[in-house]
Structure 1
Amino acid sequence: MADSDDEYVQDISDDEVEAHQVTRGAGAGSRATGQGSRGAGWEVTRTWENVVEGADGTISSTVDGLLEAAKRKRLLKDTTPLQRGIIRHLLLILDLSLAMSEKDLRPTRYLLTLRYTTAFITEFFEQNPISQLGIIGTRDGLAFTLSPLSGNPNDHIANIQKLRTQEPIGQPSLQNALDMARAALFHAPTHTTREVLILFGSLLSSDPGDIHTTISALVSSHITVQIIGLAAQVAICQTLANRTNPSLPLSKTYTVALNEQHYRELLMRATTPPTTTHSISEGGGVRSSLLMMGFPSRIVDSSPTLCACHSRPTRGGYLCSRCSSKVCSLPTQCPACGLTLILSTHLARSYHHLFPLRNWKEVNWARASSSDQRCCFGCQTAFPERPMGASTLRRQSFGGQTRDRMAMHTTRGKPSASKHSVKDVSMASVSKDGVSESGRYECETCGRFFCIDCDVFAHEIVHNCPGCQSREGMLLAAGAENGNEMVILAEAQKG
């Protein structure tokens, strides 16, 4: 017969057939997994069976609510301003061993890692435009450089795409990969972070020597290591994460991915700069330092000239503010004088990590009815109207998911209020996942209402509130400090 991997299995017993069958419910799943050590029971979760109908008899409102909850989940994070290292030196270590050919993550661990790594590189430079990234691979007990430290995401993505034609082989070597990463980060400036992110799918490491000596060298070099496991927790990985991150809990430095979505979330979490408490000088002391940067302007020559970074003839480029050497792209370090060259937009895009935009609060129907804002301030999309009987809206839970149902029932075709609709339920409160019942989200600073799409766009792309950045929002903020916001707004409307 053919099993779930579409491979022919010959002379298989009836017990093994029952143990490998694909089940549809909890009862069948428990029956399949209760076969002992002969086989593992595989269970397919039919998530569509848990989607329930809404008050209008359709599942569209429930699906929209689930989508909105998924968008809102990414925004419900800590927005406390912290000191972070926005200039980062990160080395990404990829496990290219035979263990990455497993199919527990579809299509395989290897192909999924390459796809997520490409997305990670793009997102990393979007969030950290003045940082440096390098990639190291390990297989057959060796480690090799896939892409050196640089600030050009296109070079990294091109090198990752070349791995699609190769197959994972051999065993990984954590010690060789960490030694190579430590050597690459040895000359990193003291004002930058030194980080290593490991994507590890194996359960062992083929090392030539004592890996604890390498871990001690990483600690003395102030290099932090984060690990994302794809199989199970490994003792040496836990030791490595604990010793290089003594002030952080293990759940933030070493986590095993449960599924494809969880794997992506863990990987994208590394795009946020880590918190720092001090700057380490070369002598081991604590000191504050200033970094000299140059902000060159783009030039276009009438005839091709050689650039200082690649020695290639180009017409366009940027001139170093100190030595007037020509470079192709920014951000980079001048090859001649070593000055850090960036654009003002790069610095502005890194600024939001230090002062993140505060989360907007959910708006209930009582607050929405008392306000005259009927459209989203960002995209001018009309908000949904208050449904009939919204004051008796009640929220019920089914299998870990929520749905809204009217606390009314129909008797002979005529709606009549339920006996619990008035006494027990007065107003549907905001759900635990942060989804607004009215579809409105309010900025506590300017008081403007926004839809969920503008909420996501403002927090993940713009990192600024459109209401606070508008003329009325700035006047309101200034008036709130002086206690005369109403007078200022009235004068602004007259003018």
Structure 2
Amino acid sequence: IKDGVAQCITDLGGSPDSHIKALHSKLECSGDASLQNALDLVHGYLGQIPSYGHREVLILYSALSTCDPGDIIETIQKCKQAKIRCSVIGLSAEIYICKHLCEETGGSYTVALDESHFKDLLMEHAPPPPAIAEFAVANLIKMGFPQRGAEGLIAICSCHKEAKVGGGYTCPRCKARVCELPTECRICGLTLVSSPHLARSYHHLFPISSFIEVSLTPSNSHQRLPRNCFGCQQIFSTTGNIPILRVACPKCKQHFCVDCDIYIHESLHNCPGCESFK
């Protein structure tokens, strides 16, 4: 958003490579910012998302005003009717119109205090938000699991319409070549995914239960508790008279250290103890 114009840098897609590459291309700010033009652009793109998908936008806003060509309140209501959830992270100070936008669309509005606080606020938006029951529509959709193209094979990419050597994926229905996953086949319209993408969605739909802190009290001191963390095998030693904090999975009852607890819930999304019993 610069010079009063909102531009689309990259197309919507499930692969982060193109988005990261665009962010590293030294984007600069200039001129006035138009929040209304940005919302109109968002509405045009996200309005086509099917009902079973999330329509969400995160705005990083550093300006102290918005220079709009029309009625921004009407544009906010249009986004609200399209069920587009708008969240804003302010980089300067709180602005009323940004707060009003987030309140109307069900998003969150925060203002970063410093660089580390900004990173924390940004990472809070990484996990997908819970679906609202009245908006969540369950539909069965057809999916294809394409095979990786052979190296050295020349084929025309259907998404860029260019001849490329090796790589890419082949649609199982029409045999068209695509560059990255997940995507929708440009020829037959089949949704193309890989098993890791489904596993990633499953982890967010059914997250691991929070581990329970195990406190060493006189009542359980006579019990034979594990000496090692089930994950990293680190010994639960004591620092002076204070034992190292340990947690236990409520299902498999295995004990873990705090570092493994964080790694399991934020990165692994699977309990090693529960998986070992399968």
TM-score, scaled to structure 1: 0.52
Residues 287 and 302 of structure 1: CA distance in aligned 2, closer, same or farther (over 3 Å): closer
**Structure 2 residue aligned with 1:255:** 110
Output the amino acid matched with 1:344.
Answer: S
**Structure 2 residue aligned with 1:399:** none
Q: Deviations over 1:130-162 (max 9, x none)?
A: xxxxxxxx1222221222212221211111111
Residues 287 and 351 of structure 1: CA distance in aligned 2, closer, same or farther (over 3 Å): closer
Output the amino acid matched with 1:160.
Answer: L
**Structure 2 residue aligned with 1:359:** 210
Shift, 1:212, TM fit: 0.9
Mapped partners of 2:94, 2:216: distance in 1 = 47
The count of residues paired between Structure 1 and Structure 2 equals 275
**Structure 2 residue aligned with 1:243:** 104
Output the amino acid matched with 2:18.
Answer: D
Q: Deviations over 1:364-395 (max 9, x none)?
A: 2234663241111111111113744x5xxxxx
Supply the RMSD in Å over aligned alpha carbons: 2.1
Q: Secondary structure at the match of 1:218?
A: helix
1:365–1:386 contact (8 Å) kept in structure 2: no
Deviates more, 1:302-311 or 1:371-380: 302-311
Q: Is residue 65 of structure 2 the alignment partner of residue 204 of structure 1? A: yes
**Structure 2 residue aligned with 1:155:** 18
- Counting only pairs closer than 5 Å after superposition, residues 72-83 of structure 1 correspond to structure 2 as none
- Counting only pairs closer than 5 Å after superposition, residues 54-65 of structure 1 correspond to structure 2 as none
Mapped partners of 1:304, 1:179: distance in 2 = 40
Mapped partners of 1:238, 1:365: distance in 2 = 47
Q: Deviations over 1:101-128 (max 9, x none)?
A: xxxxxxxxxxxxxxxxxxxxxxxxxxxx
Shift, 1:186, TM fit: 2.5
Q: Secondary structure at the match of 1:183?
A: helix
**Structure 2 residue aligned with 1:227:** 88
- Counting only pairs closer than 5 Å after superposition, residues 171-182 of structure 1 correspond to structure 2 as 171-182=32-43
**Structure 2 residue aligned with 1:169:** 30
**Structure 2 residue aligned with 1:265:** 120
Residues 321 and 237 of structure 1: CA distance in aligned 2, closer, same or farther (over 3 Å): same
Shift, 1:222, TM fit: 1.6
Output the amino acid matched with 1:158.
Answer: K
- Structure 2: runs of 5+ lacking an equivalent: none
Q: Deviations over 1:70-113 (max 9, x none)?
A: xxxxxxxxxxxxxxxxxxxxxxxxxxxxxxxxxxxxxxxxxxxx
- Counting only pairs closer than 5 Å after superposition, residues 71-150 of structure 1 correspond to structure 2 as 138-150=1-13
Mapped partners of 1:297, 1:368: distance in 2 = 55
**Which of the two has higher C-alpha Rg?**
1
Q: Secondary structure at the match of 2:10?
A: strand
Mapped partners of 2:33, 2:264: distance in 1 = 42
Shift, 1:278, TM fit: 4.2
**Structure 2 residue aligned with 1:288:** 138
- Counting only pairs closer than 5 Å after superposition, residues 386-405 of structure 1 correspond to structure 2 as 387-388=240-241
Residues 139 and 322 of structure 1: CA distance in aligned 2, closer, same or farther (over 3 Å): same
Residues 333 and 176 of structure 1: CA distance in aligned 2, closer, same or farther (over 3 Å): same
Output the amino acid matched with 1:268.
Answer: M
1:364–1:438 contact (8 Å) kept in structure 2: no
Mapped partners of 2:153, 2:274: distance in 1 = 47
Deviates more, 1:459-468 or 1:147-156: 147-156
Q: Is residue 150 of structure 2 the alignment partner of residue 274 of structure 1? A: no
**Structure 2 residue aligned with 1:379:** 232
TM-score, scaled to structure 2: 0.91
Residues 442 and 214 of structure 1: CA distance in aligned 2, closer, same or farther (over 3 Å): same
Output the amino acid matched with 2:67.
Answer: S
Which residue of the other structure, out of 252, 259, 263, is the alignment partner of 1:453?
259
Mapped partners of 2:115, 2:151: distance in 1 = 48
1:293–1:341 contact (8 Å) kept in structure 2: yes
Q: Deviations over 1:217-259 (max 9, x none)?
A: 11222211111112222111111111112xxxxxx61111223
Mapped partners of 1:277, 1:145: distance in 2 = 28
1:308–1:325 contact (8 Å) kept in structure 2: yes
Mapped partners of 1:158, 1:141: distance in 2 = 24
Shift, 1:463, TM fit: 0.8
- Counting only pairs closer than 5 Å after superposition, residues 427-466 of structure 1 correspond to structure 2 as 438-466=244-272
Q: Deviations over 1:160-208 (max 9, x none)?
A: 11125x4x32221101111111112222222211111111112210111
Shift, 1:314, TM fit: 2.2
Residues 217 and 306 of structure 1: CA distance in aligned 2, closer, same or farther (over 3 Å): same
**Structure 1 residue aligned with 2:175:** 324
Q: Secondary structure at the match of 2:6?
A: strand
1:199–1:227 contact (8 Å) kept in structure 2: yes
Mapped partners of 1:232, 1:377: distance in 2 = 46
Q: Deviations over 1:394-426 (max 9, x none)?
A: xxxxxxxxxxxxxxxxxxxxxxxxxxxxxxxxx
**Structure 1 residue aligned with 2:199:** 348
